[in-house]
Amino acid sequence: MTNDYERTVGLDFIRATEGGAISCFTWVGRGEKELADAAASDAIRGTFDRMNISGEVVIGEGIKDNAPGLFKGEKVGTWAEGSPRFDIALDPIDGTTNLSKGLPNAICCIAASLCAEGEESGLLDIPSFYMDKLSYGEIIRDAFVADPSLPLSLDSEPAETIKLAAKLLSKDVTDVVVTAMDRPRNANIIETVRSLGANLRLVSDGDITAALAPALPQSGIDLYMGIGGSPEGVLSAVGMRCLGGGLQAKMWPRDEEEKTSLITEGWGDQLDRIYLSKDLARGEDLLFIMTGILESPFIQGITIHGRTATTHSVLMRVRNRTVRFVTGHHNLDYKEIPLRSQNQSLQ
Ligand code: VTB
């Protein structure tokens, strides 16, 4: 029997997102985005330092961003001989602005792709800053798979998509719930939802939970629409593949300058392409891990009672579509979160 590494490393990945979430929780509401990000990243690095994997960050911060996050190209894990090779995409905090203000919706999130050296990574590193995105749950995805010509794509009029979603979900249009990021660039979506009399749930930041919400019936969200960050789009695609919903995304250059540079880098013929979740999150050997920091329709946030911190995490695998919600009760008097900054010897 071959080694099923994804099965065995899952709990270690949860430790990493739990540690990241707990470590930055002290920064909630303090207006210090960078310090919160640094705290989450330190704990993630520290946990990776103890993990027997050969990991490389393929989607993280760009070195040029000068942010405290984990960088693209950074090696994580022990890299012990024979340890499994994982490509890693991560967002130590999706929703840093929310966290800094104490607003809802912040998570710590990792996706991992098991891939032998020289193999194509399961995680596609999209070069544009933003992508236009559309996501929906299983009922709508099944209808789209059965008939891809349905007006249920990023190239369809948003109003058509919302009306069709209503039909497929056997609802009135006025009962359809759409979530989008509250940004001027999403004005068209916002206007459309309002003019149809459908329900709008704007999020100020953090669009991974927003994109995944339609796949969870209890979230009360039917569609996610609009333009958000590209790395968040790839992370959402991994999650969506595990949950059985659908996600489409298309590069959305901010201006002519970005468009020209994408063309110069050789992405010109992909600018009109609608990527499906399986194009961004490729193959079957993929894991998705998230811990809630501040509550969202997808996952609960951290609560502290006395000396106990309670975390809510989700661990999912594309291969078998198992979705595990894991609640952790952490006794803070005994808890040791490994931090890279305090444990240089483990590097
Ligand atoms: C989103 C969101 C992130 O960036 O992708 C967003 O998920 C992109 O939009 O939490 P803006 O550049 O307009 O913020 C974040 O808000 C921050 O990384």
Task: Specify the residue with its C-alpha closest to ligand 1, atom 3.
Answer: 206
* pLDDT tens, residue by residue, 226-256: 999 999 999 999 999 999 999 999 999 999 9
pLDDT digits (tens, 9 = 90+) for 120-154: 899 999 999 999 999 999 999 999 999 999 999 99
Does the CB atom of residue 232 touch ligand 1 within 6 A? yes
Name the residue with higher pLDDT: 19 or 65: 19
Confidence at residue 346, expressed as pLDDT on a 0 to 100 scale:
38
The pLDDT tens digits for 84-95 are 999 999 999 999
The backbone torsions φ and ψ at residue 117, rounded to the nearest 5 degrees and listed phi first, read -55, 135
Is residue 1 very low, low, confident or very high in pLDDT (cuts 50, 70, 90)?
very low
Tell me what the mean pLDDT of segment 53-65 comes to: 84
Give the pairing of strands 130-136 and 246-251: antiparallel
Helices (H), strands (E): how many in the chain? 10, 14
CB of 84 closer than 6 A to ligand 1?
no
Q: Which long-range contacts (CB under 8 A, 24 or more apart) does 260-264 make?
A: 262/127, 262/128
The arithmetic mean of pLDDT across residues 27-49, rounded, is 97
Task: Report which ligand 1 atom has the smallest distance to the Cα of 229.
Answer: 5
pTM value?
0.96
Whether the CB of 132 sits within 6 Å of ligand 1: no
Mutate to test the pocket of ligand 1, among 232, 255, 258 (most ligand atoms within 8 A of CB): 232
CB 210 within 8 A of CB 224: yes
* Averaged pLDDT of the chain: 94
Give the distance (Å) from ligand 1 centre to CA of residue 208: 10
pLDDT of residue 217: 86
Residue 264: pLDDT over 50 = yes
Q: What is the maximum span of the chain, computed from C-alpha positions, in angstroms?
A: 60
Among 207, 208, 290, say which to mutate for ligand 1: greatest number of ligand atoms within 8 Å of CB: 207
